[in-house]
Structure 1
Amino acid sequence: MKRVLRSSLALLALVFATATAAADGRFPRASHHQHLISPATAALWSSDPLAEVALPQPFTRLLAARTAAFGDPAALARLYDEDALFLASDQPGWVRGRVEIGRRLAGTFGRAYRFTAVGYERDGTAGRIAGYLTRGDGDAARHFAHVLLVLRKGDDESWSIATETILFAPPRTTAPMDADRLIADMDAAHIERAAVLSVAYLYGDPRRQVEDEYARVRAENDWTEAQVARHPDRLVAFCGFSPLRPYALRELKRCARLPHTKGIKLHLGNSGVDLRNPEHVARLARVFAAANAHRLPIIVHAKTRATDYGRQDARAFLDDILPKAPDVTVQVAHMAGSGPGYPAFADEAFEVFADAIARGDPRTRNLVFDAATVVTMDTSPETAERIARRIRQVGIERIVFGADLAVGEDGNPPPRQAWAAFRMLLPLTDAEFETIAGHVLPYLR
């Protein structure tokens, strides 16, 4: 119930913010960070739900009892071990004990649901069931969470739940998004121009095994180019690839010849770039130098996979990478974080750039930052104050609006709502918002 209430309040706040932005008539002229998704990449990003499996009768009876006990703390408690453990992804931590678990479960869900089992194990007195939490039947069935139950068989031969974990996320499904839909979103936000950043770098993610990788990278970049060509007066393309792959410089050179491609997009985290690895730094530096030689602006997702990403990585970028592209715009995405939100690691990295700008470091002459998904409806007043302070520290003229990829009701909102949240929650002046809204970087002019 609390989860439903939080979602409802966030939705109401977003509606109010959008209405406020519309009322004052201030919308950004350009979005400097948007994505499209081809059908091929949508398939790559999606995870088809696993098929339901039949369970042994004792497990079937246990799940039936768990379903029938919906909303009844006492009935739920009887299905768990005395010292059982429970964890849900939207709650603060583990819950111990059947009575407390019964209470917690009874207050967690607003509507009834059922279990869809996709796998199980049974070994003597121990068992496990993996599956989904599901609502609806037939074609209307929708999985809204993943669940794992660890079971224990008692002396009376009955099975009970020893541990339950719930991840409130459906199987990932991504729909394609083409230029026509983006233009509609832009029109709703009164946005004139947008940079479309190819997600071809996804195919170079070392965590994936992709056949014909470079061919698929080229295909995604070409698809993005073709989509942008349908609206050449509104959109420009940025070519994507992993800077660590052997084809990186070849693809950069090829993209430089595409008529609607104006720059390159690099995603250091997705590509597995380690700014503490000299070989990675050297490869990335070569890509920056090549982009500079071809006069291609660079948009870079600077957040790496380092668990302690922050100052050290930003300093490496400032010292070893940025100087290789002195003549083109270098746009650091998400204000040096990864979005959505602005966590401490993003602020730590951003501070390095802010300090360099404050002392007049010439390497930062063409350095700008997009604020894509930095502000969400979950942004606290304290975080909003910190973001505003950092924006003023680097100078309003270095901050541009972006909305990233609208990926459904539980993901990034479309540009109109993204701007509304930014406008509503940040403690900037009307003049400062107007300046940011009016920014159009040279690659979009």
Structure 2
Amino acid sequence: MIIDFHTHIFPPEIIENRSKYIRDQKWFSRLYGNRNARMASARGLVEEMDRCGVDKAVACGFAWNDFDLYVRTNDYIADAVSRYPDRLIGFGNIPPLHPRALDELERCADMGLRGIGELKPMGQGFDLDDTGGLAPFAEAAASRGLSLLIHISEPVGRQYAGKGYTSPGKAYRFARRFPDLKLVYAHWGGGLVFYELMPDVHEELANVYYDCSANPYLYDSRIFTLVMEMPVRKKVLFASDYPLLRLDDCLDEVADAGLGDQLYQELMGGNAAALLGGPA
């Protein structure tokens, strides 16, 4: 089974009125102001999954300026899961410090969503080092069994739209503060995954998983053979960041890495199923 742990979907009316949201939504404009940046509805995602042979996908929301857009998008994701229950796994999105954040988190859990993400600290006005301010949200997520999928950035390398400032160090400290919270750090955790070669760090980050989303844009494909030989291998999740990246490109990159069958199965779906509590 292949599970893509990091995709984004939008309600059709947002896709159709893209220009309005480019004008009104700062973070959306950064990523989707370029007309070549692809967007997808739930139906479009499932059609692409069918084309590429992907069984299931985590469908995420987006970081908006307007709280009502979070609510609308969360409703859309919950509805999409109800329409494609065997294909989509819903993650809502919520700005963690908003006054209505805890109520919306409870509502997302009640609608059957499995996590919150992709959270973008820079785009949503919070810092992972603000563990005091984030504690109510993190503890509520842990108590409801919701995973948090968080955008983490590489502290070196080129700048690009949406990179942000959330470094591996911030991600490390946040995970240590909330050991009962299941965390998925996007984009290899900005490189935090490599620090799990340190035995003490590996032990401290038992609650952390890493997705490989946007890898063709970020790292040499040899990263798969390197990481899947590390102790962290059962915490690595296949992910594309579709539709910003092409799903087939991400799949081809892993296929070309030459992983053995067991490691391939773990990366492509087994680890995700274990995180989600059995068959997703």
TM-score, normalised via structure 2 length: 0.78
Confirm or deny: 8 A CA contact 1:46 1:174 kept in the other structure: no
Per-residue deviation at 1:240?
0.3
Give the CA deviation at 1:45: 4.8
Q: Does 1:189 align with 2:52?
A: yes
Give the aligned partner of residue 318 of structure 1: 175
CA distance in 1, matches of 2:70, 2:168: 32
Q: Could you give the per-residue CA deviations for residues 281-321 of structure 1, whole angstroms, max 9, x where no partner exists?
A: 32223211110111112222233833xx545323322333x
Quote the offset at 1:193 in angstroms.
Answer: 1.4
2:49 partner letter: M
1:345-393, Cα deviation, whole Å (9 max, x unpaired): x22x3334x146x3375543332111111134x85xxx44455424432
Q: Is the 8 A contact 2:216 2:249 kept in 1?
A: no
Distance 1:282 1:427, change over 3 A: farther
Query: Could you say if the C-alpha distance between residues 305 and 274 of structure 1 is closer, same or farther in structure 2, counting changes exceeding 3 Å?
Result: farther
CA distance in 2, matches of 1:187, 1:298: 27
Q: Which residue of 2 aligns with 1:97?
A: none
Q: What displacement does 1:250 show?
A: 1.6
Q: Does 1:281 align with 2:125?
A: no
Q: Is the 8 A contact 1:221 1:239 kept in 2?
A: yes
Deviation at 1:395, TM superposition (A): 2.9
282-291 or 266-275, larger mean C-alpha shift: 266-275
Which whole-Å CA distance do the structure 2 matches of 1:198 and 1:229 have between them?
16
**CA 215–293 in structure 1, closer or farther in 2 if over 3 Å, else same:** same
Secondary structure of 2:264's aligned partner: helix
Trace 1:88-99 onto structure 2 (pairs within 5 A).
Answer: none
Q: 1:385 to 1:420 in 2, by over 3 A?
A: closer
Which letter does structure 1 place at the counterpart of 2:253? A
1:334 aligns with 2:196: no
What is residue 401 of structure 1 aligned with on the other side?
238
In the alignment, does 2:265 pair up with 1:292?
A: no
Q: Which runs of 5+ in 2 are unaligned?
A: 25-31, 154-162
In structure 2, give the amino acid aligned to 1:437. Answer: M
CA distance in structure 1 between the aligned counterparts of 2:132 and 2:197, rounded to whole angstroms: 25
Question: Of residues 71, 96, 101 in structure 2, which corresponds to 1:248?
Answer: 101
Cross-structure match for 2:159: none
Aligned mates of 1:417, 1:436 — CA distance in 2: 16
1:372 equivalent in alignment to 2:222: no
Amino acid in structure 2 at the alignment position of 1:272: G
- 2-side partners of 1:173 and 1:190: how far apart? 24
Partner in structure 1 of residue 158 of structure 2:
none
Deviation, 1:214, is 2.2
Cα distance between partner residues in 2 of 1:311 and 1:224: 29
Higher helix fraction (1 or 2): 2
For residues 156-207 of structure 1, give each alpha carbon's deviation from its aligned partner in whole angstroms, at most 9, with x where no partner exists.
xxxxxxxxxxxxx9853666522221111111222211111122xx214xxx
Higher strand content, 1 or 2: 1
Contact 1:31–1:401, Cα closer than 8 Å, also in 2: yes
CA displacement at 1:419 relative to structure 2:
0.7
Shift of 1:272: 3.2
Identity %: 21
Residues 383-394 of structure 1: pairs in structure 2 closer than 5 A: 383-386=220-223, 388-394=225-231
**Retained in 2: the 8 A contact 1:47–1:171?**
no
Q: CA deviation at 1:431?
A: 4.3
Shift of 1:238: 0.6
Name the count of aligned residue pairs.
256
Give the deviation of 1:401 after TM superposition.
0.8
Counterpart position of 1:32? 5
Q: Deviations over 1:116-173 (max 9, x none)?
A: xxxxxxxxxxxxxxxxxxxxxxxxxxxxxxxxxxxxxxxxxxxxxxxxxxxxx98536
- Equivalent pair of 2:59/2:89 in contact (CA under 8 Å): yes
CA distance in 1, matches of 2:182, 2:260: 27
User: What SS does structure 1 have at the residue aligned with 2:64?
Assistant: helix
**Displacement of 1:435 after TM fit?**
3.1
Alignment partners' CA distance in 2, 1:198 and 1:437: 22
What's the TM-score once normalised by structure 1's chain length? 0.51
Q: Which structure is larger by alpha-carbon Rg, 1 or 2?
A: 1
| Residue 194 (structure 2) aligned to one of 335, 351, 374 | 351
Instruction: Report what 2:124 is aligned to.
Output: 271
Task: Please give the alpha-carbon distance, in whole angstroms, between the structure 2 residues aligned to 1:254 and 1:313.
Answer: 28
Q: Within 2, Cα distance between the matches of 1:371 and 1:298?
A: 15
